[in-house]
Chain A
């Protein structure tokens, strides 16, 4: 047994997700990424003396929607608390957050792996809080906090609504952790409650990692890994940390509880441990805000807006339609594509064939032309017609491809084209035999070559027969007849 196999990794993921609203959590400043520093600010989000917070109703609804999507309970009563600590990019030197009565309780994220395995991870908590401003560390050359001479602060982000989402430590591989994050991201995107972009910081995540011997009951000492800037780097960082901890334990060392920063360029994590000061956040109910009472009517109204969730769609595509995990995921990761697909399936009887067309030829055309499929001239109804023509063997795949290209240009109904231009596949053996005989007669040299053993020229002859039939001959019949006559 290798060292790796003796241990079970235990991983918990903590995410901060900026909610997509027009304005910040407690004031009317715009909630937008970027912009000139310190231009999206007001007395409230700058923590000016005398300014007071008033909660954004839309952010509260987003939280409830997210909670419901994760199957969490929405308690009837919730409140905001202050988390007190000093930091220069936190304007009031306390953060308005939720401590013991968050808007949602419990819940789980259902995720799946490439091989189709479906798993779920329970949530320890989801709560609503406000984001901080952004510090830029200067004077050290590399932009890091360590060794910097001073810091510059932009408060544009201060006060943006932020959802904190903490998973239970019940993820057991880097691969699962990434799949968990992908499912979380998909869900929030589908709900429209966040852009969930790691590159813009609207999703930020840290991982708590520990390992324990496979038969051990107790958890090992955990470390917290920060500074991952993509899902890929989350996977790499966790894998690297698992390896590091196992190597440490195998060589007789012990894991120290600490925070480590992931260095993507060098593929290693570095201890960020400085003087360990116990935090004493002095949470207490924010006296500037009044409690929230969430009516059951509101909960049901919001539940009614959720629509089909990504994991539900995934189960429908795979279990009901028999589409593979990868194409199913590809479809549902593009919501407008998935909706387009669903409209085809609603008309056409063959979801797998539909998926092939949508993800294959149609996606290629869309990519080549830089137009989203949903915005193209190919309507789901016409594509369903095309699929039905192929299904019924009225046209072969070559004609189908040609027709699709013309439909992309706006040619309209494929059925009308087939009827109008006589493109229906020829499956009449007598007619095809005529084409075959003509081709054999016109190419005696090739026929001789074939009969002399150069059977690779058969493809040429098939092509000639198809051409003679203007592509309409049933390729299977052509092959069969040619083979018989060449051998005869």
Chain B
């Protein structure tokens, strides 16, 4: 028997691999053609037989427990329906959801993340149902502010963001603003700032008194997005933010603008003057929250999700939207819907799924969620049982004002699939003095224009989101 020499074996293997490679074909499977389900004649569950809906979500902690209660209530109301809930971690869900929806045993109702790489890709592949008919049947289109639904809207094929059909719905909201330490503010003899100038002045006063003016840790990179937007939104009109992020008018928007330059210059100026925690690039977000709770820092610019850490009924902390440039200026804040509930295009019970989504987002569900420090954006809804003078009551009052003004601006990292990386990394470089404010803008603009140029051709739509 002849021995196969190592060289010859490698040659054989190489030829085999090459043969396989040439035989291999285009990866991926064609996008599914999705038809919008018709408007249901009656709302609620009309199916009589037993129905099991598989739900995939990433809720944890108190919200997760509230969900279990809501789900039980739904099953009690419709005894023929069983909700099989599968709890996944956030990153698990992000990595698995697309594959699961495209696979042989897809879930029926899922929490899909917003933005190009997530919901955009799922819409493009035809994995989610357009919910417009359900929205009009159940009144979802009027339940929350238009921008909130725009954040979950895409045109067919996932070509445009912020317009077209609704592919997910939630009443849960997120709002970024300024948390403040009431005791410290009093001790420093400062009033609550009404303008950006007041705010800057209070930073200087706090710094002189040896306090940390803004508690900030940016190792995790995403907190930088909120810090940046909080300043940027003082200078640019709200419409610019929506145009830029949704990219509906992408021929005419740019990141390189005098307003953005001013905002970036202010950020670097604040860093130089020591208005942020020393070495924010070496401090984790969790640590920064812990420090703020312990009383380090006059302000912290972040979202409503830390209310639970502060204690919803804590009277020592307050919350405001970042004050406007001029007194009485428009109130604008970064935020958006929480994870929306979407229906898989392959679900055999879309009507039941829609009834379930409605149940999870009605005013009763809103009332249940509010106690956990969550924000419900249901229009005309006023939560009961909230103690006045607490951080939660401040938060809900601000959220209600922003909701009624439809002034919740989407997260800026939704602008392109890679904008999260570009914005967070460039912002860290801006903080660390590695780049000038001008270079910061051009780095972000390079990412933005590269993506917009790569998008499928077609005249950009200039009509407002809705």
Question: Does A pair with B?
Answer: no
